[in-house]
Structure 1
Amino acid sequence: MSNLAAVVAKPDVEVAIASLQEEGIHDESRRLVEQDEETVAIPVTEPPAATRVRDVIEQVDPEPRASDLPTLLEARGFSPAEIEAAPSSWAVIGDVILVQFGECGRREAVAEALLELHRGADTVLHRAGIAGEKREPTVEVVAGSGDTETVHTEHGTKYALDLARVMFAPGNKTERARMGEVVEAGERVLDMFAGIGYFSLPMARAGAQVTAVEKNPTAFQYLSENARLNDVTDRLELMLGDCRDVVSVRAEAGEQYDRIVMGYYDAFEYLDPAMAVLAPGGTLHMHEATPDALLWDRPVERLETAAEAANRTVLEIDRRRVKTHSEGVTHIVLDATIE
């Protein structure tokens, strides 16, 4: 069996692993090993042909990788009841592990086990929730270095962010990637709730001309940084402020957009200004957190009512479930063509 490992810089670990997996040479039976303060050794079955690495080394006495968290916890003396109370899911965002501990009584010990399981990460955060119109997170450092600022790479898009200051929804990964696939090069797109560029960045990378509006100054700071990080400053117009004010000015100037993204649970409250700048035959993506008992009647009724008030017609609606928002509530998105 090969004991080869590819040495990469710590900030590049996530991208490198994805590339090595595409090459089919990532050895998941062995653990990532920290080489020094700047680099990590990723186990591989053969030298990489397409992945950029600093070096390829032969490991001596390589460490086997624990298969899962329960196995690690059992080895650390956790009782079956304690293992049952431990988190069953979490997200690795850049080099930060984001997790909700719930009723787990040994948070620090579980967090240390998570760091062992994900050797490329260096901080574990407990996610308490997202609150307010500016969607600001409440988090707690449980283990590791405590550095909450990171760069997360997803389907080739890089997101710089501070998880203690701005929100990031791991469950929206598929939707973020989809927006980069449905848009066409040259389309004029308005992202009314841009955040750090969740949807704006994939669309701009796909060639769309995107106007991204964000009212949270901290999120806007990272949105600006991410435009440069992804080399899309020529296709991404950044606007700091309330989207209603921006849309009002654009509507008076007669500007229109081929596609409008409304990635906010209360997006229905902003449908009137959106209708004012959506081009005939344009597409509107309206997000909502909908009680399951009201699927799909409530969001569709809200959309059709707003269209009627604007003397417009909904030609077609595509309904999509994004993820579970909470018990009995689903995060959905309507893709609507409006004449």
Structure 2
Amino acid sequence: MPMQLCLLVPLADGEAARQALIDLDFLDKTFTPKRLGDELALPIQEAIILDGVEFVHRIDTVEVKFAPPSIDPHNRLLKAILPMIDSNKELMQSIPKKWERLDDLILFPKDAFQGDNWSLVIHRNKDFFEHIADALKAQRIGRQQPIADDQMRSSQVELLHGNDAWVEVKDNGLTYGFDATKVMYSSGNVTERHRMASVDARGEVVIDAYAGIGYYTMQLLVHANVKHVHACEINPNSIKALDWSAKKNGVESKITIHPGDNQVTLRKLEGSANRVLLGYLPSSEAAWEPAVRALKAEGGTLHIHMNVEEERIESWSEETMQKCLDFAENSGRNWSIVSHHLEKVKWYAPRIRHVVLDVSFSSSNSAS
């Protein structure tokens, strides 16, 4: 059993002392308080001077037990790691407090368990990440890395424990499958995925210009009952995942995957769609012009994703709609805007929001 610094008080004052330690954030809940004769030993994080309290107390090192398993996953993680770091305070403070779970894969932030001290711990404990997986009831452990600065925005997740990174994620009644080390999955876009599931698009032909693994495509096919989706995607790993998900969700007959650069594939789809999704960050502007051309001659709807400074959202919306009208005019289409909506998806960075501008166009001949 571990030796731990404790505050010892008379049994009668145990509750008052415990509350005082909680208020001061000094009670160490990793360990269980222990009765020693007429005293109660309360585990503390470090030596403390209690001024102004009405009970007798002293500090000593006591052999204690770990607290019972907690439903709090952070506490379970802490208990798994503490024996391997000899209760090193500096390392304790750097234990991750948040992570992402994909299927049975835990993804920690990019700075988790990094540095010389952690490297030494991991070297000494060959089963370090196996203990972490057990504590978090997972089979695999990974660490996030910055998204690759390439056209495909490839994932660069580092797999730390486990044989592969293929995961199957259930969301809103459907299943996505993908290799988490090769393609990215944005949990933060859940509200937008579900919004696409409820969009009024029954019977429509839709183009997803940046289909990825099918974030929005699957929602449209399974829940919005669109007629067909043309999915444009350049990343072979995303295409593999997209094809898998289409079959898994029973919609493979309603999707056509167009591999390659959407600057090429969109132009081959000119005049075919009722709706085009432009879900690429930080900016989808490169595809606006071919997306406008891809809509049917009588008009249609664009869903334009962008990262925009909060104070510029209104002006950006107006400028974007005008640019799209200009693209339409240059392609011989006399369109007007019949409706528009601005959806704020999430904060992307301080002062910068991920937004989606929905714009519906109609030709003069069909506006009536």
TM-score (normalised: structure 1): 0.72
Task: Give the Å deviation of 1:174.
Answer: 2.0
CA pair 113-84 structure 1, distance change in 2 beyond 3 A: farther
Task: Give the Å deviation of 1:300.
Answer: 4.0
RMSD of aligned C-alpha atoms? 2.6
Q: Paired residue for 1:73? A: 78
Q: Paired residue for 1:306? A: 324
CA pair 71-233 structure 1, distance change in 2 beyond 3 A: closer
Per-residue Cα deviation, 1:232-269 (whole angstroms, up to 9, x for no partner): 01111111122222222222xxx331211111122112
Bigger shift: residues 316-325 or 126-135: 316-325
Task: Give the Å deviation of 1:299.
Answer: 4.6
Does structure 1 residue 317 correspond to structure 2 residue 340? yes
Q: Paired residue for 2:259? A: 240
Match of 1:88 among 54, 79, 97: 97
CA pair 75-113 structure 1, distance change in 2 beyond 3 A: closer
CA pair 141-75 structure 1, distance change in 2 beyond 3 A: closer
1:128 and 1:293 map into 2 onto residues whose CA distance is: 30
2:146 and 2:259 map into 1 onto residues whose CA distance is: 24
Q: Is the 8 A contact 1:124 1:146 kept in 2?
A: no
Q: Paired residue for 1:48? A: none
Q: Is the 8 A contact 1:70 1:83 kept in 2?
A: no
Q: Is the 8 A contact 1:111 1:124 kept in 2?
A: yes
1:332 and 1:290 map into 2 onto residues whose CA distance is: 7
Equivalenced residue count is: 272
Task: Give the Å deviation of 1:161.
Answer: 0.6
SS at match of 1:172: helix
Match of 2:191 among 174, 177, 182: 174
User: Which one-letter code corresponds to 1:166 in the other structure?
Assistant: V
SS at match of 1:257: coil
Q: Paired residue for 1:161? A: 178
CA pair 173-84 structure 1, distance change in 2 beyond 3 A: farther
SS at match of 1:223: helix
SS at match of 2:305: strand
SS at match of 1:295: helix
Task: Give the Å deviation of 1:79.
Answer: 6.0
Does structure 1 residue 150 correspond to structure 2 residue 167? yes
1:235 and 1:336 map into 2 onto residues whose CA distance is: 25
1:272 and 1:155 map into 2 onto residues whose CA distance is: 32
CA pair 83-178 structure 1, distance change in 2 beyond 3 A: farther
Unaligned runs of 5+ in 1: 1-62
Q: Give aligned-pair identity as a percent.
A: 26
TM-score (normalised: structure 2): 0.66
Q: How does 1:6-21 map to 2 (within 5 A)?
A: none
Q: How does 1:170-249 map to 2 (within 5 A)?
A: 170-206=187-223, 207-208=225-226, 209-249=228-268
CA pair 161-300 structure 1, distance change in 2 beyond 3 A: farther
User: Which one-letter code corresponds to 2:258 in the other structure?
Assistant: M
User: Which one-letter code corresponds to 1:150 in the other structure?
Assistant: V
Does structure 1 residue 124 correspond to structure 2 residue 124? no
User: Which one-letter code corresponds to 1:152 in the other structure?
Assistant: V
Unaligned runs of 5+ in 2: 1-67, 330-334, 363-368
CA pair 76-239 structure 1, distance change in 2 beyond 3 A: closer
Q: How does 1:100-119 map to 2 (within 5 A)?
A: 100-102=109-111, 105=114, 106=118, 115-119=133-137
Q: How does 1:17-28 map to 2 (within 5 A)?
A: none
1:75 and 1:248 map into 2 onto residues whose CA distance is: 55
Q: Paired residue for 1:42? A: none
SS at match of 1:310: helix
User: Which one-letter code corresponds to 2:315 in the other structure?
Assistant: D
Task: Give the Å deviation of 1:205.
Answer: 0.9
1:146 and 1:234 map into 2 onto residues whose CA distance is: 33
Task: Give the Å deviation of 1:308.
Answer: 2.7
Per-residue Cα deviation, 1:60-105 (whole angstroms, up to 9, x for no partner): xxx9553131464167435666454333332211221122143655
2:352 and 2:130 map into 1 onto residues whose CA distance is: 32
CA pair 235-247 structure 1, distance change in 2 beyond 3 A: same
User: Which one-letter code corresponds to 1:268 in the other structure?
Assistant: E
CA pair 118-283 structure 1, distance change in 2 beyond 3 A: farther
Q: Is the 8 A contact 1:160 1:222 kept in 2?
A: yes
Match of 1:257 among 257, 263, 273: 273
